[in-house]
A and B are shown apart, each in its own frame.
Chain A
Amino acid sequence: MASYETRDYDVLVVGAGGAGLRAAIEASALGVKTGLVCKSLLGKAHTVMAEGGMAAAVASVDPEDTWRVHFRDTMKGGKMLNHWRMAQLHAMESPERVRELQEWGAIFDRTAVGGISQRAFGGHTYKRLCHVGDRTGLEMIRTLQDRGVHAGMDVHMECTITHLLKDGERIAGAFGYFRESGLFVLFRAKAVVLATGGVGKAFKVTSNSWEYTGDGHVLAYEAGADMVDMEFMQFHPTGMVWPPSVRGTLVTEGVRGDGGVLKNSKGERFMFSYIPEAFKNDVAASEEEASRWLAGDKQARRPPELLTRDVCARAIVSEVREGRGSPHGGVLLDIAYMDSEYVKRRLPSMHHQFMELAGMDITKEPMEVGPTAHYAMGGVRVDPETQAATVPGLFAAGEAAGGMHGANRLGGNSLSDLVVFGRRAGQGAAEYAKSLREKPRVNLAEAEACAKELLESFNRSEGENPFVVHEALQDMMEKNAGIVRNEKDLRAAIDALAGLRKRASGVKVSGTRQYNPGWNEAIDLKNLLTVSELLARAALERKESRGAHTREDYPDYDKAFAKVNVVIRRRDGAMQVAQEPLPEMPDELKKLLEGESA
């Protein structure tokens, strides 16, 4: 019998990036006993990689900006599939969350008149991203971390949650292990908030870290929660492509916001040829107009490099496919034509990153960039007000939750999403926990079974290397369910996943449980396989191209699919895929979107 320690909380938050920290701060403030679990050390979560900024209609640079314009931009960027209420709450509340971070000690860059500086980003009508150079995520996480450690919560670092436990229909706790010791832990909790981030490690070229294995997505799915929009995986248009070891590492959209232009091997500024009909009126018609915009001319329209990420990523793929790519299979992103001091001040960490890792100076030469798996728009379906999942006691926030970003997320909308909905999830979970008359009961036999399952990979006399199986999965997903998809490849992906699942269930782990990456990998692999299947099945279902989901066999928008989300839930142990109508938007919001089509 495997032993485990037991901890008791009202609210257990899984994940300590921006959303998890903000949720735990809120729950603690509401007086419930709160535990926060993170897979890495505190302060190392993926939020730290967010560079460009946090979108909020603070209107300190462009006074014309309002939440209504932010709402419209977000819906339009998401191709109208976003949950309207999430997009509305996000646009309305993000300025308040920016001010709150400032009051908690975050120091955003300033404008000449002493307000918060805001920069331009793709799909945003106005300069809207509050930022600190190009290390905004670090500022957010450090601010929340320092606030959090004084808020009364317990923090359990390097702890992985592997199972959710239920009492009947409702959440009763979570099971997992501490990486450092390898020992098991049972958290008894009235409510669990999943803030585990994304799924990028299912792909070969990704900006995501080892942590991004879809843990929260799969925990929720297996607990019976509805998953929504899983087909929408954002490929950020600009990841590094050279040298090979850093392929996929993020190059912030701030480069383009601050004047960077995309060029092909012939030196052509190709984005002018890829402006979609729906965005024609928002974008500069010529290089001359784009330059005027950059110089601050309010009459001029944005450069086409600031089209949404889905559009830019597809354009880059086309250029490379048609033989106009850069030497290492990307395109060129050039900001070297601008003043070098300006570039170093606005983009210090990009300057440093390319200097150290690629041995080149971005103030002198163009960067080579290409798409990289970056962000899952899909996730746990939640109630916009409380972030409650469809399983009682389960909540989700940040990248693990779905709905907010629809078919494509605008840059900068993630950091604001984390704190707007992190706060709401913390509140929702705390209120739910308070409303329970008695604590749900954990079935101890179930906890025993979790422990037994986790140890299986140690018991095999022979078996495959878990890292090798993971790499096979990444190659397969990149090929069959990447940026451009079709039915044949997606079916091949689903078949291949069955084979990979078999291989994963036979991996062998050696050594002890103490800080053993091989063992940890074997455990994470299970989630990666399930989340990949959720993604592939949803992608197969949506027979159109929209936002981040591109189907060669259905290259256009489809009116019927404009009205539905793809929802997946677990029924009788299998994935049940359904199309469900979008929630009905109130007339006053419809009016804001008049004249806009997806």
Chain B
Amino acid sequence: MSDLTLRLFRGDAQGGEIREYRVPVEEGMVVLDAVLRVQSRQSNELACRWNCKAGKCGSCSAEVNGRPRLMCMTRLDLFPEGEPLTVTPIKTFPVIRDLATDVSWNFETNKRITPFTPKADADWKFFQHDVERAQEFRKCIECFLCQNVCHVLRDHDLKDAFMGPRFLVRTAGLEMHPLDVADRLRYLKDEGGIGYCNITKCCTEVCPEKITITDNAIIALKERVVDRFYDPLTWLWRLLTGRRSK
């Protein structure tokens, strides 16, 4: 097999450039193999994150020829042989060095979500069909590719106002747990900024776990928020009875 021309972003928060490397290719190689080959043989200080190398930990997110991907699950033979491959860091988060970005905002955002809160006298017997939906959301490996492509975060940089698809998915996983009793709807509307999402489904398209982020998580949560805060009948019912419906 012929060598690969790998074009990698090298730089830090101050800026950087694309540099070219030649990497020998063997059968079945993935993009991460090529990057690690550069790291181990040509440039030991090339920064990138990886852990499981099997699509389970979500560490090695990057943009391959402009498309956000997990490097460990992207085979080189997906691309035309002989053409150079360009790997750049995910754009939505600030570069630390080379392919490693500062994703700490995500961890801070996560902390603000009300954690799982079961009923005090919960009966822990429940069925597969009760949890299938929540389980879908719990497949998330926190690769943050959905955060990276979300135009509210990527193009408009509204990180102060919008939690992004990852944390809408996380909230949906909590809200749809059959035994959870916490109320996160006001939070979703005010701090979470769910209204910013205009369901372009970019997040769903890049999810390596194939979570139907927009349809199953975000739209479902939007409906709950609308029912609570914008539906005149619910509003009137609440006014008359003083009761909230979850």
Please list the residues of chain A having a beta carbon within 8 angstroms of any beta carbon in chain B: 40-46, 48-49, 99, 102-105, 107, 109-110, 113-115, 132-133, 135, 138-139, 142, 146-147, 149-150, 155, 157, 180, 209-211, 242-246, 249-250, 349, 352-353, 356-359, 465-468, 471, 509-512, 514-519, 521
Contacts and interface: CB of A to CB of B under 8 A. Distances in A.
Contacts of B55: 349, 352-353, 356
Contact of B141 (A109, A138, A243, A249): A138
Nearest to B13: A514
Given A43-B142, A244-B28, A515-B97, A49 B57 contact: yes
Contacts of A353: 54-55
B69 to A, nearest CB: 11
12 contacts: A49-B57, A110-B126, A113-B125, A245-B26, A245-B30, A246-B28, A356-B75, A359-B28, A465-B41, A517-B44, A518-B44, A518-B45
B53 A249 contact: yes
Nearest to B50: A210
B115 A515 contact: no
Contacts of A358: 28
A209 to B, nearest CB: 4
Contacts of B102: 180
Contacts of A102: 124
A110 B127 contact: yes
Given A110-B127, A243-B27, A466-B44, A211 B51 contact: yes
A237 B177 CA distance: 37
Interface string B38-80: 0111001111111111111111000000000000010100000
Nearest to B131: A107
Interface stretch (B103-111, B190-198, B232-240): B103-111
A139 B141 CA distance: 10
B30 A357 contact: yes
Nearest to A104: B116
B134 interface: yes
Nearest to B180: A105
B45 A41 contact: no
Contact of B44 (A103, A242, A471, A511): A511
Interface string B16-31: 0000000000111110
A485 B111 CA distance: 49
Given A48-B57, A110-B126, A353-B55, A243 B29 contact: yes
A49 B56 contact: yes
A244 B100 contact: no
Contact of A99 (B44, B124, B131): B124
Nearest to B29: A245
B240 to A, nearest CB: 35
Given A49-B54, A149-B111, A467-B39, A41 B139 contact: no
**Majority SS at the chain A contact face:** loop
Contacts of A105: 115-116, 118, 174, 177, 180
Contact of A103 (B52, B57, B118, B142): B118
A521 B43 CA distance: 13
B51 A210 contact: yes
Contacts of A246: 28, 30, 53-54
B208 to A, nearest CB: 9
Contact of B100 (A49, A99, A515): A515
Given A114-B126, A357-B75, A107 B51 contact: no
B128 interface: yes
Contact of A509 (B26, B44, B58, B177): B44
B58 A515 contact: no
Given A104-B116, A356-B73, A358-B28, A46 B45 contact: no
Nearest to A466: B44
B61 to A, nearest CB: 11
B53 to A, nearest CB: 7
Contact of A107 (B41, B49, B122, B135): B135
Contacts of A244: 26-28
A521 B53 CA distance: 18
A312 B52 CA distance: 24
Which 9 A/B pairs are nearest by Cβ-Cβ distance? Answer: A243-B28, A518-B44, A105-B116, A511-B45, A467-B40, A114-B125, A515-B47, A515-B97, A209-B51
Contacts of B100: 180, 515
**Majority SS at the chain B contact face:** loop
B186 interface: no
A250 B52 CA distance: 10
Contacts of A180: 96, 100, 102
A516 B174 contact: no
Given A246-B53, A465-B44, A514 B134 contact: no
Nearest to B113: A146
B205 interface: no
Given A49-B57, A103-B124, A138-B139, 9 more contacts: A105-B177, A105-B180, A107-B131, A110-B127, A157-B104, A357-B75, A512-B45, A514-B96, A515-B98
Interface string B180-222: 1000000000000000000000000000000000000000000
Contacts of A211: 51
A44 B44 contact: no
B26 to A, nearest CB: 6
A146 B51 contact: no
A124 B174 CA distance: 33
A415 B41 CA distance: 36
Nearest to A511: B45
A514 B12 contact: yes
A357 B98 contact: no
Interface string B131-175: 100110011111000000000000000000000000000000010
Given A132-B135, A511-B45, A349 B56 contact: yes
A474 to B, nearest CB: 12
Given A107-B138, A138-B141, A353-B54, A41 B131 contact: no
Contacts of B135: 107, 132-133
Contacts of B28: 242-246, 357-359
A526 to B, nearest CB: 16
B46 A517 contact: yes
Nearest to B76: A245
Contacts of A109: 128
Interface in B83-111: 96-98, 100, 102-104, 107, 110-111
B118 A41 contact: no
B24 to A, nearest CB: 12
A550 B75 CA distance: 37
A170 B11 CA distance: 44
A48 B72 CA distance: 15
B12 A44 contact: no
Contacts of A107: 131, 134-135, 138, 177
B17 to A, nearest CB: 16
Contacts of B130: 110
A245 B33 CA distance: 7
A147 B115 contact: yes
A568 B53 CA distance: 33
Contacts of B49: 40-41
